[in-house]
Amino acid sequence: MATSRYFALNQFPQGMPRREDFTLHEVTLPALDHNEVRIQNRWLSVDPYMRGRMTGAKTYIEPYELGQPMDGAAVGEVIESNHAQFQLGDTVRHMGGWRDVAQLPGSDIERLPEYEVPPQAFLGVLGMPGMTAWTGLNRIARMQEGDRVLVSAASGAVGSLAVQLAKAAGCHVVGVAGSDDKCQWLEEHGIQAVNYRGKDAAALTDALRDASSEGFDVYYENVGGPLLEAALANLRDHARIAICGLIDRYNDTEAGAGPSNINQLLFRKAKMEGFIVMEHWGYYTEFLSQVAPFVEKGAIDYRETVEEGLESTPDAFIRLFQGSNFGKMLVKLTG
């Protein structure tokens, strides 16, 4: 009999998630139904958006249910198939993560695109985070050559690609990160770096002004909080802000204050727009055609932080909110 181990929430986290909010279960899998596929997962993705699913309330996506298997993006190998389009040994991507073995309808599974890159790249630089970076810059902010671009969380899975795409497009790029080594990585790639640690909104405003005295045409927002206030204070006329995430608030237990200088949007005739990448997934092939060749030849430097073993999945997720990951956070499974 085939079994699957999976994580479930036993309570909704209050504030920062804790290891004890998650429980590992084991279930015996039924025989494959018609058109079902069984997959041995090799790589699991944990992402900040998952925190919003841990509240019991629906946002733009259904919440996780207490006691029920959690899910998320994963890459794995087909180990049994009752579907004509999937054969044993196929490497596939799907949303049956937070578990070691997934059993899903074939309609919920896709073969990986044929590029010479490691399979886990399709969970990061060529997956949802990479597509998110490309979408925010090109479809939301309408980035143009010569723009002055600011990116927050610039060493994360999304931000680290956003700064490189903006640099490759001929923009002056400033990246904000939270440690000296992350800032050093940015500078090695021709990105002017600002370390946000220990800085309030006023200090961040000054630091951004020092980094780009003429202000910014584009702000790629991953963080919110004091950094958003500092960015608003440094906008150029007709600036565009793409809101990808607001991780500064994901673990708040009470509503936080909004930026005190939201009037800068009016004064600078600026536009601020939030987006959910899945609404733009019809452009994924275009994204791949533009970015994947650069990844294949090593022109894009993408980082991964890897935790080992299914049991480490909650710890990997929690680390996202501690700022300890560099690039995409992944869990590698064996077996």
> The tokens of 132 are what?
């998110």
Q: What is the pLDDT along the chain (335 residues), one digit of tens a residue?
A: 799 999 999 999 999 999 999 999 999 999 999 999 999 999 999 999 999 999 999 888 999 999 999 999 999 999 999 999 999 999 999 999 999 999 999 999 999 999 999 999 999 999 999 999 999 999 999 999 999 999 999 999 999 999 999 999 999 999 999 999 999 999 999 999 999 999 999 999 999 999 999 999 999 999 999 999 999 999 999 999 999 998 887 777 777 777 999 999 999 999 999 999 999 999 999 999 999 999 999 999 999 999 999 999 999 999 999 988 899 999 999 86
Residue 51's pLDDT is 96
Say yes or no: 107 and 138 in one domain: no
Say yes or no: 205 and 88 in one domain: no
> Which residue, among 194, 202, 197, has the nearest Cα to 163 in the 3D structure?
194
Residues pairing with 111 in the sheet: 92
What's 196's domain CATH number? Answer: 3.40.50.720
Domain assignment present for 285: no
> Which residue, among 273, 221, 277, 286, has the nearest Cα to 247 in the 3D structure?
221
Query: Does residue 48 contact residue 250 with C-beta atoms inside 8 Å?
Result: yes
What's 63's domain CATH number? Answer: 3.90.180.10
Say yes or no: 137 and 7 in one domain: no
Say yes or no: 266 and 148 in one domain: yes
Residue ending a domain, among 245, 262, 278, is 278
Domain that holds residue 105: 3-120+303-332
Domain assignment present for 296: no
Say yes or no: 101 and 82 in one domain: yes
Say yes or no: 111 and 141 in one domain: no
Say yes or no: 253 and 311 in one domain: no
Domain assignment present for 291: no
This prediction's pTM: 0.93
Residue 256's pLDDT is 73
> The tokens of 124 are what?
């990061």
How many domains would you assign to the chain? 2
74 vs 20: CA distance, rounded Å: 23
Residue 154's pLDDT is 96
Residue 335's pLDDT is 64
Domain assignment present for 294: no
Give me the half-sphere count of Cα atoms (radius 13 Å) on the Cβ side of residue 156: 29
> Which residue, among 90, 106, 98, has the nearest Cα to 33 in the 3D structure?
106
Say yes or no: 165 and 269 in one domain: yes
Say yes or no: 12 and 110 in one domain: yes
Say yes or no: 133 and 267 in one domain: yes
Between the alpha carbon of residue 243 and those of residues 21, 29, 228, 238, 276, the distances in Å are 29, 40, 10, 16, 9
